Amino acid sequence: MSTRTCFPKTPVGVEGVEFTFATAGRIVFGPGSLGQLAPWIAENGRRALIVTGNAVQRTQPVFDQTESAGVAIDSLRVTSEPTVDFVREGAERARRSGCQVVIGFGGGSAMDAAKAIAILATNPGDPLEYLEVIGRGRALPKPGLPVAAIPTTAGTGAEVTRNAVLASPAERVKVSLRSAHILPRLALVDPLLTHSMPPDVTAASGLDALTQLIEAFTTHRSNPVSDGHCREGLRRVAACILSAYRTGDAVSREGMALASLLSGLGLANSGLGAVHGFAGPIGGRFSAPHGAVCASLLPHAMAVNLRAMEERLPGCEALQRYREIAVMLTGRDGARAMDGIEWISETCEELKIPRLRSYAIGVEAFPDLIEAAEGSSSMQGNPIRLERGEMQEILTLAL
């Protein structure tokens, strides 16, 4: 199989760099920032649809804020990853009830469901008209209802991404609606909302953010603006993830909430890589949490990428970026790329990340997973085109 060249080395100040950067209409970050929801709702409509996750006891603040704005409320709860059927029905419900704004409050699933419902409520036709892979992939022609995205975990960055990930149980895949119209109008990132995360969710979501930062930083679609976000996010993860897991102190929680936001800014504008190329098909076929799957794959995908680039693309800029990642994660100026991978492996072990076999994944699933991963948009962003044997090696090492 042929290789694809990594993004070229471009000296600072040289002409020829072109990119587009898009994000939420407004980002508000900081402890207590949830208090800014009520004024925004009052400016945008008189009836709101609130989409929440499983943790019902944590949702009261957003209902209180919405009610204080004098706005009528309808609500939906996402009990697992949102499906195509769920958002189809949610969009119809939003239209029938005359909702004017949509609020996503929770983890990535709640925010993705809110974004999908908002965009489908204003665009004609069935979701399959617009979905990637299993649908026609048509462009969404109209802006959606205004969305406020409010994360209660620190990992997905979905509050600032331009896609909504949906599960299709019939096809056993997870696919995206993707459009700049999907970007929320308001991203409210209040670190106080993450304080009740249990250690296992803290670990999986935090390592999801780390994966997104690394892949957005090393993809051949990287750009100078997303690079800055990724570098800052990587430093935050290195400083905060272990203490957030061990003690859950306020400083570490805030650092991880910011790292998650930065990871969303990075991936939305640069793309991802092999880990997410696999994570989508795995999530569509097995009951496995996305963040934990990413964490189990990450060190092995990096090690295989590193060897492939050293062998086939020794001048690739991504090799230097792997070394830079190692310096940021370990805090050692002379760290080698492999030192960064070892830091990630040790961190995954301390955070008790399960191996893929914990989710009933076996070698018999590898051919289908590899075939699906090859066609994913994330895999196209990997810094080097992996051969099938290399893809199988990643899965085997993570098993």
Q: Number of H helices and number of E strands within the chain?
A: 14, 8
State the pTM of this model. 0.94
pLDDT band at 8, cuts 50/70/90? Answer: very low
Q: How many residues does the chain have?
A: 399
Token code pair at residue 282: 């795995």
Please tell me whether residues 154 and 38 are part of one structural domain: yes
Please tell me whether residues 214 and 172 are part of one structural domain: no
In whole angstroms, what separates CA 367 from the centre of its chain?
A: 25
Structural domain including 289 reads 199-398
Measured distance CA(256)–CA(244) in Å, rounded:
8
Question: How do residues 289-340 score in pLDDT, each as one tens digit?
Answer: 999 999 999 999 999 999 999 999 998 999 999 999 999 999 999 999 999 9
Give how many domains the chain has, as a whole number. 2
Can you state the percent helix, strand and coil of the chain, rounding each to 5? 55, 10, 35
Please tell me whether residues 352 and 230 are part of one structural domain: yes
CB 356, CB 261: distance < 8 Å: no
**For the chain, what is the mean pLDDT?**
93
**CATH number of the domain encompassing residue 125:** 3.40.50.1970
pLDDT at 248: 97
Please tell me whether residues 144 and 72 are part of one structural domain: yes
pLDDT band at 11, cuts 50/70/90? Answer: very low
Q: Average pLDDT for residues 192-208, to the nearest whole number?
A: 96
Task: Find where tokens 């949702």 sit.
Answer: 59
